[in-house]
Structure 1
Amino acid sequence: MTIPEADREQLVTRRLRAAGCVFAEDEARVLLAEAADADALESMVAERVAGRPLEQVVGWAAFAGLRIVVEPGVFVPRRRTELVLRQASAALAAADPTGGPTTRRGPVLELCCGAAAVATALAVEQPGLELWATDLDPAAVHCARRNVADRGTVVEGDLFGGLPASLRGRLRVVAANAPYVPTDAIPSMPPEARLHESWLALDGGVDGLDLHRRIAAEVGAWLAPGGTLVLETSVGQADATREALVTAGLRARVVRDDEVDGTVVVAVAP
């Protein structure tokens, strides 16, 4: 007997709700839309109930109106990171207020890119940018290359380590969602993150700011004069992130967006 669509949605919703999924109804609709048949639906629901992030189950995450490919084990783009995208876009617009060709705006880099959601969105928003992305995690690099495709270059490396020397002193914008979770806080994170995303994408060291301090120390050599770094952080860490960048010689300010629960530090090179 065929189960009516409405009844299937209710059944899936109940299973997800029982598993503790906060947005069970919304997730049920996504799973029903993505499943090719009843067997596929059962497999996907079982994965979600077991704790795998919905985005890894269906293979994509919604970000800035796009579907970003997300593979198993790769950090899932969060909506709050759309603030990084908006600030990076604003910095690019300010670099060329005449609205000329995007090629005039200089190279752009997404650092610690994960699935490269920001780089992909920038490529769609502003075709023609010289676009780079880099990550230390080979799984993330593979995923990022699927998203960026032929619109930019994704390299594997530790922060700026995998980039060609020709980019030094030329980057107009660096956008980064570097790990900023304190090591001791990771075990208390939701299982979707701590069990199914790489700790490389989460672990920011004892106070969560190890990568922020490293970026602050290194980014000045890579930014063009007047170039901008947009670095995601948290409300509680924002002042310390800003101070690290000011100490490194950049002008820095904190930007907060309550709607997406996002916080970034925007820093400009001399």
Structure 2
Amino acid sequence: MFSPRLALASLSGEADADWAEFGAEWAGAAFLGGICLDEPTREAARKMVADRDRTEFLPPDPNAFIDDQLSALADVALRPGVNVRSTATEPVRAAAAVAATHGAVLEINAHCRQEELCAAGCGETLLRNPGRLERQVAAASSSGPRVSVKVRTELTGVDLVSVANRIEAAGADAIHVDAMDSESVVADIADETGLFVIANNGVRDRETVREYLEYGADAVSVGRPSDDPEVLERVAAAVSEWVAEGDQAGVAEP
């Protein structure tokens, strides 16, 4: 899906085209966003900005913003993606069509745990409502781009492997897993599905990179320190080392 197998994970209100271009020296992909697409998610984001001093992308036209941001990365040597939040299916389909025109990945956010977003019915609530998540995945896939789903582990009552199987059947190509101290879930998903698995959470150095790749992840991603050249250089070097070892052993690229 991308190479080198290091991605920059979306950071609300911060992960824009300039951020992605900065990290392109080390990363093979960058997920812009998250972008709130429909009015319930946009209202939730406005509340978070007003009440908790968070930063959020709240452009007047989300799809025009996505188009502008992806256009700015046309000559940058990485695979762009855009992480989106929505309570409804059709806004996801429309955003996916924009992503497809740029060869970008459309990433559905089933990850955010902020109270306002969950109350609206997006983010991690989609993991408890896999039918809704499946419909969003199918809608995005029908518009033509590669589709990723950002998820988190340690959500009580959620069988993440089952969710992974369902989104794969609906048309997803990748799953972006925030492991949250449950790293073995990465292995379970890698073993049970054909999804491209991106592992996230605490990726900072050679040790954490190798842990996730040994569990079967196809790639890793860096979140909060994605603007730190020292961290990115360490992680990129560890990913390159792992790939070189695989090449010597005759292991094919995913």
TM-score computed with the length of structure 2 as normaliser = 0.37
Computing the radius of gyration from Cα coordinates, the structure with the larger value is 1
